[in-house]
Amino acid sequence: MQFKTLGLALCALMLSACSDSSSTKNFTGTVRFATFHVDMAYDDSRGYFTLLEQTGDDQDPRLANLAAILQQTYQESQPDVLLLTGFSTSVTEGGVADETAVEQFQQNYLAKAQASDLKGLSFPYRYVASTNSGQFVPFDVNGDGKLALPDDAQGYGHFHGQNSFVLLSKYALDNEQARTFRQFKWSDVTGTAKPPLDNGNEMDEQAWQALSVMDTNFVDIAMRLPDGRQISLLLTQLANQQPGADALRSNWLQQRNGAQLDFIADYISDRKDGDYLVDDKGRRGGVNLGRPFVLMGNLNNDEDPFRLTVSTPWADTYEINSSAIRKVLSDSYLLGSNGRFNTDSLTPTSFGAEEYKMSVGSSHIHPQVWTSLSGMRFSYVLPHKDLHISASGVFWPALGEAGFEWLYQDSGEQDPSLSSHERMVWVDVDFGRSK
């Protein structure tokens, strides 16, 4: 009798499971993946406290504009999966990122409609990346003869957590099984060599051996769709190549960005080039090739062969080392026409960037793909080749178009202090037409 009862219970359980899966079987919805560099990493030792104050109950105008950009419904849709780069946090000695500022930004800005024609955004799932930025290294990283933040760190930062990124999602995330790569050494990336400092001296050997390749982090986290399928989200924010006030840093920052892109190219390779990579829990190998992925983040690089940024109030023109990103964008697992620039509308573009090019002058071949006032495509959403793109874009309205007030002064000049010096990039994936 007990066996009969047990059998009936197991049968009921199996039927229930079948019923649950069939109710969401073959998810055919469209998911909007977006990334936005929000300039919420404040460049001073009080940066995180500033962010906590600004994300509190009293609305800060700039953060309200950032939230409005995210709430706008271009093509009748808002982001479903959102990566915010350039977001400060605070990292404990155990490597755990504080989520207070993220929670406050969600509650006090994203969830509250920022205009009468906008609606709030709610994300039930999130992942806040721990970061290498501001993690002190007791060696002379920049060669100035001193040991001090912000330069003598795994990643530039006045405090541990200055630069990080946050993932917000309407679909479940497997935070516990996320792969992170904070500890993987720069010197262990295939083909790398110790970078020289711009004064001709070699980087300190102890500093070289201590430096991780990622100045923030690289995260591989699974997202579950309603029908149970999983998508790998590959998330990062890479080193800024821009020469800072300390000219000794500029050359090796370019080389670090190149090594980071080589790391990513190896990680997503179908030739097992990533077999040597080891995550922070000791798990070896590259991306799970058994499921599609979306690579998202601020890569701080552009494939354009002319490689020159435009001059801005915060940075003179400088040259981008663009060779490494071509290796990433040409990977056979990426949707090729979305990776490299293509005229079939799969590459995210905007009219605002073309208008901006006319005002600043640039030799860039394809200004419509720009995501930054520096005149470069720095932020990317790059889907796997098995995912079908139904639409894409860069939120950069031309002067007078809907939403321009979050980017432009009354005089018509683009003003990064109104929101950010970067623009939101989005890609819609139609899972009804994806493999």
Q: Does 45 have pLDDT greater than 70? A: yes
> pLDDT above 70 covers what percent of the chain?
89
Nearest to 174 by CA among 310, 291, 345, 325: 291
pLDDT in tens, 165-206: 999 999 999 999 999 999 999 999 999 999 887 677 888 999
Residue-wise pLDDT tens digits, 384-399: 999 999 999 999 999 9
Report the C-alpha gap between 421 and 353 in whole angstroms: 12
The pLDDT value given to residue 319 = 81
Q: Are 154 and 135 in contact (CB under 8 A)?
A: yes
Report pLDDT for 210: 97
- pLDDT tens by residue, 122-152: 999 999 999 999 999 999 998 889 999 999 9
What is the pLDDT at residue 323?
84
- What span, in angstroms and rounded, lies between the C-alpha atoms of 171 and 201? 49
So what's the pLDDT on residue 12?
Answer: 42
Name the more confident of 264 and 309: 264
Percent of the chain at pLDDT > 90 equals 71
Instruction: Round to whole Å and give the CA distance between 374 and 362.
Output: 10
105 neighbors 163 (Cβ within 8 angstroms) = no
In the chain, what are the domains? 28-430 (3.60.10.10)
In terms of average pLDDT, the best of 16-25, 75-84, 227-236 is 227-236
What pLDDT score does 335 carry? 67
Q: What's the predicted TM-score (pTM) here?
A: 0.92
Give the DSSP H/E element, type plus range, for residue 265. Answer: helix 250-267
More confident of the two residues 326 and 218: 218
- Please tell me the predicted confidence (pLDDT) of residue 368: 92
- Cβ atoms of residues 66 and 420 within 8 Å: yes
- Beta strands 164-169 and 125-128: pairing type? antiparallel
pLDDT over 80 at 17, yes or no: no
pLDDT tens digits, one per residue of 328-346: 998 878 865 455 555 456 8
Handedness of CA 185, 240, 363, 403 (dihedral sign): positive
At residue 19 the predicted structure's pLDDT band, cuts being 50, 70 and 90, is very low
Mean residue pLDDT of the chain comes to: 89
Residue 3: pLDDT band with limits 50, 70, 90: very low
Looking at the predicted structure, is the pLDDT value of residue 419 above 50?
Answer: yes
User: How many C-beta neighbours within 10 Å does residue 332 have?
Assistant: 10
pLDDT band at 242 (very low <50, low <70, confident <90, very high): low
The torsion angle over the Cα atoms of residues 235, 54, 152 and 286, rounded to 10 degrees, is -10
Say if residues 267 and 277 touch (Cβ distance below 8 Å): yes
Reported as a single tens digit per residue, the pLDDT across 244-302 is: 544 444 578 889 999 999 999 999 998 889 999 999 999 999 999 999 999 999 999 99
Mean pLDDT of 37-53: 96
Give the integer Cα–Cα distance in Å for 49 and 101: 9
